């Protein structure tokens, strides 16, 4: 059997190119490094665990492309699912809970740090299978209501 070195060299060069491409696509992005807010006595509320669908934003029913979903994994991390210009999008988030004695709060605070957006700290509470979140931004009070769902429908 004759082995043609030019064919072997071509094959090895192709293999090397594929391996290099494969290795370069595994670069880890370490630019997102969430941490709890300074001074927080952090815990992870097990009642948050699971999937939630936004059903009400500031007393307005939510539908269509305004619907979003949150999935709390129970270990301080989760996923936020939403529409961006009509396309289904997801991003990671980190979250931290703490008891709060601040006036005008529910007694619990939640800090969510999105992978691609600014963090937000809010009061939160539950009524039945609903999660209420309230925070202040730009001089306005925002209140969102999420309903527990069995899974993210995407």
| Residues 78/45, Cβ–Cβ less than 8 Å | no
* Mean pLDDT lowest among 9-13, 42-46, 119-123, 134-138: 9-13
Contact residues for 110 (Cβ-Cβ < 8 A; gap 6+): 45, 48, 95, 96, 97, 121, 122, 123, 124, 133
Q: What is the CATH number of domain 46-149?
A: 2.40.128.280
Classify 47 as helix, strand or coil.
helix
pLDDT in tens, 62-88: 999 999 999 999 999 999 999 999 999
| Residues 55/61, Cβ–Cβ less than 8 Å | yes
* Mean pLDDT lowest among 6-20, 44-58, 71-85: 6-20
| Residue 82 or 104, more confident | 82
> What is the helix (H) or strand (E) element at residue 22, kind and residue range?
helix 5-24
pLDDT in tens, 36-45: 999 999 999 9
């Amino acid at each position: 059997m004759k082995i043609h070195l030019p064919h072997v060299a071509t094959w090895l060069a192709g293999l090397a190119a594929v391996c290099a491409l494969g290795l370069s696509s595994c670069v880890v992005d370490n630019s997102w490094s969430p941490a709890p807010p300074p001074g927080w006595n952090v815990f992870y509320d097990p009642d948050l665990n699971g999937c939630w669908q936004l059903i009400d934003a500031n007393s307005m029913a939510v539908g269509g492309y305004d619907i979003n979903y949150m999935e709390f994994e129970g270990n301080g991390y989760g996923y936020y699912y939403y529409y961006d210009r009509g396309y289904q999008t997801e991003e990671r988030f980190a979250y931290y809970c703490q008891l709060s004695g601040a006036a005008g709060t529910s007694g619990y605070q939640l800090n969510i740090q999105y992978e691609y957006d600014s963090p937000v700290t809010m009061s939160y509470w539950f009524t039945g299978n609903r999660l209420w979140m309230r925070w202040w931004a730009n001089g306005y009070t925002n209140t969102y209501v999420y309903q527990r769902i069995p899974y993210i429908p995407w």
